[in-house]
Amino acid sequence: MKENLMDIICCPLDKHDLELDVTERDDEEILAGTLTCTECGETYPIEDGIPNLLPPDMRDEAPA
Amino acid sequence: MKGQEWYQQETVVESYEDKRFSRGGGRLTDRLEKAAVFESLAPVEDKKILEIACGTGRFSVMLAERGADMVGLDISAPMLGEGRDKARRTGVDDHMEFMRGDAARLPFPDDHFDSVFAIRFFHLVDEPEAYLREMARVSKGQVVFETYNRFSGRSLYNWALPMGSRLYSRSEVDSMIEAADLRLTGETHEFVVPFGLYRKLPGSVARAFRTVEETIDRTSLGDRLASISYWNATVE
């Protein structure tokens, strides 16, 4: 994902803003990191350049 | 949701496009579907468009190539990985983003996109109204979706699908649209012959079938036998 995606996405549960924490980057592209909801604190991973915004209750039944 | 696990098996994903859309009759349905999607959304240039259940990005990448500012959402990480690779190969990755998400709880604010669409999705869901309402929530204009019809040539072969598809009658679609506070602005009925059959045909036979089909499609009988419908709606 690219950083300007932050302008669009929000927490799928309460629709509040997310905070980006990057752990791996390749030029413009964010490859790994986390997105944390500024309201409920739920954390969503970024894996292989793709943010995983599945609500936590669906992560288990939908394995990567 | 039906197919949730099936679509996430890597072996299914790797062969998904190759098996379904690259050969013979499959290539023909791919072209026809892409044309139907493009026509329902055009003009797409600089429009913010969201595709629900984008899979490997067959439609999303095509629309990004035509200048749309695209977001593709799906539940399957392997499918999205394929899509992301394709977007990079075709050089549209600067205006095409993929993400995993739940179509019933979208990670977007209200009224964000110009258009939101879902193809080959509603046959998989148990509560179509909730999904359509969520699509309408994040659109400030258009919502396009496709259904498999209850009364069609498809009923004859539905047993052959890997999972039982949900089929829709006209009145079900009308009540879904009303429940989502949408207004229907257009509809297209297609494919007297179901996709699955096309896929099994060699290209030349499929094209001959298609010619006959187009003739029937233009009649009211064709509309009644159509196996899929595209519904074009607008936010009220």
Q: Write out chain B residues lying below 8 Å of A10, CB-based.
A: 107-109
The Cα–Cα gap between B184 and B163 comes to 29
- Is residue A22 within 8 angstroms of chain B, CB to CB? no
CA within 13 Å, CB half, B215: 5
**CA B117 to centroid of chain Cα atoms:** 7
For an interface test with B, the pick among A11, A58, A60 (most B C-beta atoms closer than 10 Å) comes out as A58
Encoded tokens for B140: 């400030």
Q: State the pTM of this model.
A: 0.86
So where are chain A's domains? 3-52
Does the ipTM surpass 0.85? yes
Q: What is the mean pLDDT of residues B45-58?
A: 97
Q: Write out chain B residues lying below 8 Å of A61, CB-based.
A: 4
Residue B17: how many other CB atoms lie within 10 Å = 18
Q: Is A18 exposed, middle or buried (0-12, 13-18, 19+ CB in 10 A)?
A: buried
So where are chain B's domains? 6-235
Between A2, A49, A54, which is nearest B75 by CB? A54
Query: Side chain identity at B178, as an amino acid letter?
Result: E
In this structure, what are the phi and psi dihedrals at residue B114, rounded to the nearest 5 degrees?
-75, -40
Q: What is the mean pLDDT of residues B6-19?
A: 70
- Residue the block writes with tokens 């993400």: B99
- Given a cut of 60, is residue B214 above it in pLDDT? yes
Percent of chain A with pLDDT over 90: 88
For an interface test with A, the pick among B8, B47, B102, B106 (most A C-beta atoms closer than 10 Å) comes out as B102
Encoded tokens for B23: 């050969």
Check residue B195 and give its pLDDT: 60
CA within 13 Å, CB half, B130: 9
Q: Write out chain A residues lying below 8 Å of B8, CB-based.
A: 62-63
Closest residue in A to B80 (Cα) is A50
**Strand, coil or helix: B192:** coil
| Shortest alpha-carbon distance between residue B71 and chain A (Å) | 9
Residue pLDDT, tens place only, A5-51: 999 999 999 999 999 999 999 998 999 999 999 999 999 999 999 99
Asked if the Cβ–Cβ distance from A54 to B101 is below 8 Å, we say yes
The Cα–Cα gap between B49 and B57 comes to 13
Among B98-102, B122-126, B149-153, which is the least confidently predicted range? Answer: B149-153
The Cα–Cα gap between B43 and A15 comes to 30
Between A2, A58, A63, which is nearest B97 by CB? A2
∠ CA B138-B125-B164, nearest 5°, is: 155
Percent of chain B with pLDDT over 90: 57
Asked if the Cβ–Cβ distance from A12 to B97 is below 8 Å, we say no
Which architecture, in CATH terms, is B6-235?
A: 3-Layer(aba) Sandwich (3.40)
**Strand, coil or helix: B165:** coil
